[in-house]
Amino acid sequence: MDNIELFKEIVSKSDNIVFFGGAGVSTESGIPDFRSKDGLYNQKYDYPPETILSHTFFVAETKEFYKFYRDKLNATTYEPNITHIKLAELEKEGKLKAVVTQNIDGLHQKAGSKVVYELHGSIYRNYCTKCKEFYGPEIIFDDPTKEIPTCKKCGGIIKPDVVLYEEGLDDEVVSGAIDAISNCDTLIVGGTSLTVYPASGLIRYFRGKNIILINRDNTSYDDMASLVIHDSLGNVFRNI
């Protein structure tokens, strides 16, 4: 039996699957991994993305932050790919219990997934730093002439509900993700090298039967997996 057949068999036998995904899930929708150092950022911006997307930078250089954010992180025009779609179908069938994602692009929800733990937040939620009023993505993306988006009620500066460097993760999201991972029998991990915190820590909560790793390259977790598939997520998911 080849790896894809084995994958299909594990999925067909399980009704308690959790999917844990990283940037690689969305690259097939055309969204680049903003953590990858492709040099593009360096041509146009004076700082690396890790600096611009930090809490300190947001506070000190809000205008510059938003220039980069609008340019690089506006995923509202992208569409879910086959992996997002298949995961949403598996949830509808009752086989998949949750998606845990490091992505902020909202594509799992766009594909129809309901239970999604967004470890790093979402570009679809934004809030006023003064009065905490929530806004959708339009407050940031619809009017790029307004360099710093502000609250319509109180004039406070809007901040994306996205976890910036130096910021902690949301406790409720993390505990939801831990619950899902520690109670599932099959954990599918895809599109992440598992090097970014807290991914590596979270999958240690798994106590079930099968961990399936889908990644183009080797990861340091290949040894603990019951099945490792070195292929693109799309190639794997279009088979189920």
- Of 153-212, binders to Zn ion (CB under 5 A) are 153-154, 156
Q: Tell me the number of residues near Zn ion by CB under 5 A.
A: 8
**Which range in 102-110, 151-159, 176-184, 213-221 contacts Zn ion by CB under 5 A?**
151-159
Question: Is residue 148 near Zn ion by the rule CB under 5 A?
Answer: no
What is d(CA 34, CA 139) in angstroms, rounded to the nearest whole number?
Answer: 22
Question: Is residue 67 near Zn ion by the rule CB under 5 A?
Answer: no
- Of 114-143, binders to Zn ion (CB under 5 A) are 128, 130-131, 133
Q: Which of 66/206 has CB closer to Zn ion? A: 66
What is d(CA 223, CA 104) in angstroms, rounded to the nearest whole number?
Answer: 29
The terminus-to-terminus CA distance of the chain in angstroms comes to 16
Give Dmax (Cα) for the chain: 62
Q: Is 84 a catalytic residue?
A: no
Q: Which of 134/197 has CB closer to Zn ion? A: 134
What's the order of all strands across the beta sheet hosting 134-135?
134-135, 121-128, 158-162
Give the CA radius of gyration of the chain.
Answer: 18
> Minimum Å distance from CB 146 to Zn ion?
15
> Minimum Å distance from CB 6 to Zn ion?
53
Judge whether 170 and 146 are in contact, CB under 8 Å: no
What is d(CA 120, CA 114) in angstroms, rounded to the nearest whole number?
Answer: 17
Q: Which of 119/128 has CB closer to Zn ion? A: 128
Question: Is residue 151 near Zn ion by the rule CB under 5 A?
Answer: yes
Q: Which of 57/135 has CB closer to Zn ion? A: 135
The length of the chain is 240
> Minimum Å distance from CB 239 to Zn ion?
48
What is d(CA 10, CA 213) in angstroms, rounded to the nearest whole number?
Answer: 13
Q: Name the residues annotated as catalytic.
A: 120
Site residues for Zn ion per CB under 5 A: 128, 130-131, 133, 151, 153-154, 156
